[in-house]
Amino acid sequence: MNTDKKNTVFIAFIKSMRTRLWLETTVHYSLKSLWAAAVLLLTFGFIHILWGSFSGWLTFIITLSPLFIALIFIIKSHPTLALAAKIADRRFATRALFCSALDIINNSSRSTLSPAQALVLDQAIHTSAQCHQRLKYQNHAFTALPRSSPLLMAILIGGFFLLLQAKNLRQTIALENILNSDLATEDTTAESVTSEKEGHPDASRDFVLQLRQSLKTDADNLISKNISTNNLNSNSNSDKMLSHTDHHNTIKNSQFKDIDSGRKSLGMTTGKKTRGQLAGTVSATNNNNTLPKDKIHTTNVGQLIELKIKNSQNSNTNNNANSNNSSVDLSDFSFPGSADKSSSRSIFSTTINQSDYYAHLTPEANHYIARYFQALNANNKSSTGGKQP
Amino acid sequence: MSTSQKDFSDQVERFKTDAALFKQTLGKAIVGQPQLISDLFTAILSGGHVLLEGLPGLGKTHLSKVIASALGITLARVQCTPDLMPSDITGSEILITRPESIEQSFEFRHGPIFSSLVLVDEINRASPKTQAALLEAMQENQVTHAGKSYALPKPFWILATQNPIELEGTYPLPEAQLDRFLFKLKVDFPSAESLNQLIDLTLDEQPADKITTVLSHNRIQEMMTLCKEVVIASEIKHAAVALILTTHGESSDASISASVQQHIRYGASPRGLQAILRAARVHALCGGRAHVALEDIEAAALPALRHRILLTLESEMTGTDSEQFLKDIISTWKHLN
């Protein structure tokens, strides 16, 4: 083996060492950045899902930012041969042999080497051949990974699944908030409309608003449609009722409360226009007994809601019986799980064709309504000791 | 491996063997001081002078005699007192009358300094004027008298001793003179085991009388020449420079820099850097290597820098241990390199 080839062996070893160092640097910065990214992902991911304060893209960019910073460090920290020789000396305990040999190669030509320099170079070449074998084994990527890597991967995977769970958690929280809000309204029906909003914590505000908006749109469209088809002045009883202004106002106010309660149970917002429309509708409701029996049971909403549309005669009877209480029964729709009549919730006038109404709901709204009544049913079961009405 | 390379490798091995033999020989007479013996050997082969500091009775003078015996060289002793004159060390001109001639002439009579190994005992008792007479001899290896220079023998070493506790009537060595000593070595009190051995060895006889020459004058010269061949890589040189700069408060470690600036009035001189590297080469050869490593620098740093840093007045008054402080500096430096 001639001198140049010997030097090549040594230089190859130093280059291999440099590669190893760069690999370690890459792993080091990558792991650090992954840790940072994991923390950011969990933090901003939860904020995004639970509160929606950040958009998904912003969360994604924030999560990736440590990786970009690490990439810059990795590119800038490419080690030199001198540094590689120095670290090789430290790792293989060769006491500056590689440093000295590299220095000799860089600063002296082979022909002018002193005996001491030639001896050092030979020793370095001989030692590097041995060290290179050890280094080849160490150059596997997995050996550069620290023991914390599995933990990091577990955290990342766990965090991912947690985020998935958090999405369901968010829906559950929102439904519970609706339920709580509804029950609270039931107890305090005289509260103002503004108190309705206070029943929902900020955590589910976005979801609730979204749900309300969806339902409101559907309901308003349907109500508008049905108002046009209802003949509010056809019933003579209504004239009689309207002639008793005070009594009518009392009834109307009571209706408003129940309507609000019903709308609120679906997460709908109230407004004057809608309230007026509903008032008209409800006024007509009490005397409308034209709904066919085949629309009593509607299974459009996932077969979870059983609609009981009372017979208008019974309704009138009840109205007459309860007229002294200045109340009109608005529980035209009572749902399974309602412990009794008083706890049943009127949503819309019975003059509305229920099949049409649910047909107009979006699948998402249907889904939410189903979830809501599921939760409501469970709540009523627990409140009545599991007894079904 | 070429012939010259093989020869050099053999020389390195022989150096290592001779060094071990020399230390072993001194160890027979100087009990319980292996580090002191090793440092002395390093200083001798570096061609440097040594300042020995220790309490009376620890064998400093005896050590000098043993070294002279082991090296087969003459030992001259100068006992310093306040009235010692420079000419008592360097020599003086005397009037000589030759029998064959009636003419009389002045002739320079060499003083004790014209020996290969000079023991300057209790050097801090000599007056500054006398101490200054040693400066030229230590640095230039020559003595100038009456306008004429006289070369000192090669190799030339001065072993000076001083007592750290008896300071009354002494003249502390000036920094310029301290800087000319390659090493300042502390002679520690021996352990109980060493004291027991000492009794057996020296109660009735002088071990120095039994020491035979293990390294001839020529062999010493060869070994000193070999030391100059040792390779010092640029990285090692940079590291040594960094160490010197650290004693001046210029370190990449901010905490040690602040500490040095607080406690050290003046750091090590460039002569200190030379001393470290020269000693490191000997240390490397003693380890059988033809190149200097960081460990060699570290081994040479403490004895070479011990007398080259000056503490601030505040640090001296608060009793800061300069030796421990220097160890901290070296430790930090090694960690950074």
DSSP A209-267: HHHHHHHHHHHHHHHHHHHHH--TTS-HHHHHHHHSHHHHHHHHHHHHHHHHHHHHHTT
User: Does the structure show a pLDDT above 80 at A347?
Assistant: no
pLDDT band at B232 (very low <50, low <70, confident <90, very high): very high
* Same domain, residue pair B337 and B251: yes
Please give the average per-residue pLDDT across A115-136, as a whole number: 88
Q: Is residue A389 part of a domain?
A: no
A103 and B233 within 8 Å at the Cβ level: the answer is yes
Nearest residue to A354 (alpha-carbon basis) of A310, A312, A291, A273: A291
Q: Which of B134, B160, B187 is the last residue of a domain?
A: B187
CA angle B190–B193–B194, rounded 5-degree value: 40
Q: Is residue B223 part of a domain?
A: no
* Same domain, residue pair A121 and A186: no
Please give the average per-residue pLDDT across A74-101, as a whole number: 91
Task: Looking at A77-114, list the stretches that DSSP marks H as alpha helix, in order from N- to C-terminal side.
Answer: 81-92, 97-107
Contact A308, A333 (CB under 8 A): yes
- pLDDT attached to residue B277: 97
Residues 6+ apart with CB under 8 A from A71: none
- Higher per-residue confidence, A193 vs A186: A186
- pLDDT attached to residue B157: 94
- pLDDT attached to residue B256: 87
Q: Which of B187, B212, B247 is the last residue of a domain?
A: B187
* Same domain, residue pair B45 and B181: yes
Dihedrals phi, psi of A143, to nearest 5 degrees: -70, -20
Q: Is residue B10 part of a domain?
A: no
- pLDDT attached to residue A280: 36
Which of B8, B234, B295 lies nearest to residue A95, judging by beta carbons?
Answer: B295
User: Does the structure show a pLDDT above 80 at B325?
Assistant: yes
* Same domain, residue pair A37 and A142: yes
pLDDT band at A236 (very low <50, low <70, confident <90, very high): very low
CA angle A333–A336–A341, rounded 5-degree value: 60
Please give the average per-residue pLDDT across B9-21, as a whole number: 94
Residues 6+ apart with CB under 8 A from A365: A211, A214, A215, A218
* Same domain, residue pair A137 and A173: no
| Weakest-pLDDT range from A33-37, B180-184, B189-193, B308-312 | A33-37
| Weakest-pLDDT range from A182-186, A241-245, B99-103 | A241-245
Say whether B187 sits in a helix, a strand or coil. Answer: strand
Please give the average per-residue pLDDT across A77-90, as a whole number: 90
pLDDT band at A182 (very low <50, low <70, confident <90, very high): low
Range of the domain at A107: 3-146
Contact A235, A284 (CB under 8 A): yes
Task: Say if strands A308-309 and A333-334 run parallel, antiparallel, or are unpaired.
Answer: antiparallel
Q: Is residue B199 part of a domain?
A: no
- pLDDT attached to residue A206: 61
* Same domain, residue pair B52 and B169: yes
Q: Would you list the DSSP string of B51-108?
A: EEEE-TTSSHHHHHHHHHHHHT--EEEEE--TT--HHHHHEEEEEEE-TT-S-EEEEE
Q: Is residue B216 part of a domain?
A: no
Q: Is residue A250 part of a domain?
A: yes
Q: Is residue A388 part of a domain?
A: no
pLDDT band at B114 (very low <50, low <70, confident <90, very high): very high
- Higher per-residue confidence, A346 vs B227: B227
* Same domain, residue pair A173 and A235: yes
* Same domain, residue pair B263 and B155: no
Instruction: Name residue, tokens 């020459």.
Output: B213
CA pair distance A310, A307, nearest whole angstrom: 9
Q: Is residue A156 part of a domain?
A: no
Say whether A17 sits in a helix, a strand or coil. Answer: helix
* Same domain, residue pair A228 and A112: no
Please give the average per-residue pLDDT across A48-53, as a whole number: 70
* Same domain, residue pair B41 and B141: yes
User: Does the structure show a pLDDT above 80 at B187?
Assistant: yes
Q: Is residue B222 part of a domain?
A: no
Q: How far is CA B2 from CA A121, B11, B265, in A?
A: 12, 14, 51
Top-ranked range on mean pLDDT: pick from A207-211, A329-333, A371-375:
A371-375
CA pair distance A252, A255, nearest whole angstrom: 5
CA pair distance B232, B61, nearest whole angstrom: 35
Residues 6+ apart with CB under 8 A from A58: A44
Nearest residue to A368 (alpha-carbon basis) of A202, A223, A170, A189: A170
Q: Is residue A158 part of a domain?
A: no
Range of the domain at B254: 230-337
Q: Is residue A151 part of a domain?
A: no
CA pair distance B308, A298, nearest whole angstrom: 101
pLDDT band at B219 (very low <50, low <70, confident <90, very high): very high
Structural domains in chain A (count): 2
* Same domain, residue pair A103 and A198: no
Please give the average per-residue pLDDT across A208-228, as a whole number: 61
CA distance A159 to chain B (A): 39
* Same domain, residue pair B166 and B249: no
Q: Is residue B86 part of a domain?
A: yes
Q: Would you list the DSSP string of A143-180?
A: HHS-TTHHHHHHHHHHHHHHHHHHHHHHHHHHHHHHHH
Query: What CATH number has the domain bearing residue B282?
Result: 1.10.8.80
B236 and A117 within 8 Å at the Cβ level: the answer is no
User: Does the structure show a pLDDT above 90 at A100?
Assistant: yes
pLDDT band at A367 (very low <50, low <70, confident <90, very high): low
Interface A-B, measured as beta-carbon pairs within 8 A, has a size of 67
Task: Say if strands B142-145 and B49-54 run parallel, antiparallel, or are unpaired.
Answer: unpaired
A119 and B12 within 8 Å at the Cβ level: the answer is yes
- pLDDT attached to residue B272: 95
* Same domain, residue pair A125 and A168: no
pLDDT band at B145 (very low <50, low <70, confident <90, very high): confident
User: Does the structure show a pLDDT above 50 at A328?
Assistant: no
* Same domain, residue pair A89 and A229: no
User: Does the structure show a pLDDT above 70 at B113?
Assistant: yes
* Same domain, residue pair B270 and B153: no
| Mutant choice from B5, B6, B238, B291 vs A, greatest count of A C-beta within 10 A | B291
- pLDDT attached to residue B337: 83
Contact A116, B229 (CB under 8 A): yes
In chain A, whose CA is at the least distance from the CA of B7?
A: A115
* Same domain, residue pair B53 and B157: yes
| Weakest-pLDDT range from A17-21, B49-53, B101-105, B169-173 | B101-105
Q: Which of B187, B214, B238 is the last residue of a domain?
A: B187
CB neighbourhood size of B146 (10 A) = 8
* Same domain, residue pair A106 and A239: no
pLDDT band at A254 (very low <50, low <70, confident <90, very high): very low
* Tokens standing for residue B129: 């004027």
- pLDDT attached to residue B44: 94
CA pair distance A270, A313, nearest whole angstrom: 30
* Same domain, residue pair A87 and A179: no
CA distance B230 to chain A (A): 6
Q: Is residue A237 part of a domain?
A: yes
Query: What is the 3-state secondary structure of A293-361?
Result: HHHCCCCCCCCCCCCEECCHHHHHHHHHHHHHHCCCCCCCEECCCCCCCCCCCCCCCCCCCHHHHHHHC
Q: Which of A119, A146, A173 is the last residue of a domain?
A: A146
CA pair distance A183, B82, nearest whole angstrom: 108
Q: Say if A114 is an interface residue toward chain B (CB within 8 Å).
A: yes
* Same domain, residue pair B130 and B248: no
pLDDT band at B331 (very low <50, low <70, confident <90, very high): very high
Query: What CATH number has the domain bearing residue B42?
Result: 3.40.50.300
Q: Say if A118 is an interface residue toward chain B (CB within 8 Å).
A: yes
* Same domain, residue pair B66 and B159: yes
CA pair distance B45, B157, nearest whole angstrom: 10
- pLDDT attached to residue A193: 42
Q: Is residue B96 part of a domain?
A: yes
* Same domain, residue pair B155 and B67: yes
* Same domain, residue pair B156 and B300: no
* Same domain, residue pair A28 and A66: yes
pLDDT of A144-162, one tens digit each? 566 666 777 777 777 767 7
A107 and B234 within 8 Å at the Cβ level: the answer is yes
Residues 6+ apart with CB under 8 A from B154: B141, B221
In chain A, whose CA is at the least distance from the CA of B233?
A: A100
Chain A CB contacts of B233 under 8 Å are 96, 99-100, 102-104
| Mutant choice from A86, A100, A113, A122 vs B, greatest count of B C-beta within 10 A | A100
Structural domains in chain B (count): 2
In the chain, the amino acid numbered A228 is S
- pLDDT attached to residue B231: 94
Chain A CB contacts of B289 under 8 Å are 95, 97
CA distance A70 to chain B (A): 24
Q: Is residue B246 part of a domain?
A: yes
* Same domain, residue pair A293 and A377: yes
